[in-house]
Amino acid sequence: MDHAAVLARYDQDMREGARPDGPGARIERTGAVVRQVADAKGWNGVVWSDLDAASADGAIAEQVAYFTGLGRDFEWKLYGHDRPVDLASRLTAAGFRTEPEETLMIGEVARLALDAEPPTRIHVVQAADAAGVDLVVDVHEKAFGTDGTRLRHRLLARLAADPGTVVAVVALAGDEPVSAARMELVPGTRFAGLWGGGTVEAWRGRGIYRALVAHRARVAAAHGYRYLQVDASAMSRPILERLGFHALSTTTPYLYGS
């Protein structure tokens, strides 16, 4: 893989040319910043910027004023290759708080190892209705220890308004949901994004996460997508590398608000 070329395609398709991630959201370009604006239950934040030392502080202040004027908390999604090189410290100085860094990993679908299957007595189902979404959210809350209210809202809205752009899957041990994940198929781009992959603690280390990645990759291939993108944690990065993903950059959420 030509890392620089693929990263440039990713920035062009998924960041500078970002699409709204759900109904009711919109993408705005203001100066050298691209942002998403959504309701209070959606994701609000900066997805791309093209700044330098002279323009960065002013652009940060503009975004803070804009989102706080709307009464929205928001995220500045900072990538390791963004400029200026001290953008992270400028965000911190402006009052943003940092979430853990993840690795931007991209795999070319045709070159991934897609033969991983779930272990015995585990079966994978697609979550296409409210009952299925409840299973996804149940796993999310147990695996990550966070409230799944916003996830439920966003998944239900997306499935109702544009079901062809999202795939949510659940791994079941009998009737018990033990792992879940989703994939966003971005129309008009070469990329599909893998999100929310999590496994309940007692079921980790059995290859379920790997199987769900392979399952979604096969779906992406069937829809004609060339690349898969993941914001990978330290736990998932080695699994993804074994499947054929490449680490191209880092991504860190900088959060502003309550």
pLDDT in the model for residue 143: 94
pLDDT in the model for residue 114: 87
Task: Domain of residue 69: give its range.
Answer: 3-103
Q: Are residues 75 and 119 in the same domain?
A: no
Q: How many domains, the chain?
A: 2
257 domain-assigned: no
Q: Are residues 112 and 96 in the same domain?
A: no
Q: Are residues 129 and 243 in the same domain?
A: yes
Q: Are residues 240 and 143 in the same domain?
A: yes
Environment class of residue 149 by beta-carbon count within 10 Å: exposed (0-12), middle (13-18) or buried (19+)?
exposed
**75-131: per-residue pLDDT in tens?**
999 999 999 999 999 999 999 999 999 999 999 999 998 888 898 899 999 999 999
**46-79: per-residue pLDDT in tens?**
999 999 999 999 999 999 999 999 999 999 999 9
pLDDT in the model for residue 258: 84
80 domain-assigned: yes
Q: Are residues 133 and 27 in the same domain?
A: no
Strand, coil or helix: 160: helix
Q: Are residues 30 and 141 in the same domain?
A: no
Q: How many CB atoms lie within 10 A of CB 203?
A: 20
Where a domain ends, among 50, 74, 103?
Answer: 103
Q: Is the pLDDT of residue 23 over 90?
A: no
Phi, psi of 65 (to 5 degrees): -65, -40
pLDDT in the model for residue 22: 85
The pTM of the whole model exceeds 0.85 = yes
Q: Are residues 222 and 125 in the same domain?
A: yes
Mean pLDDT within 236-241? 93
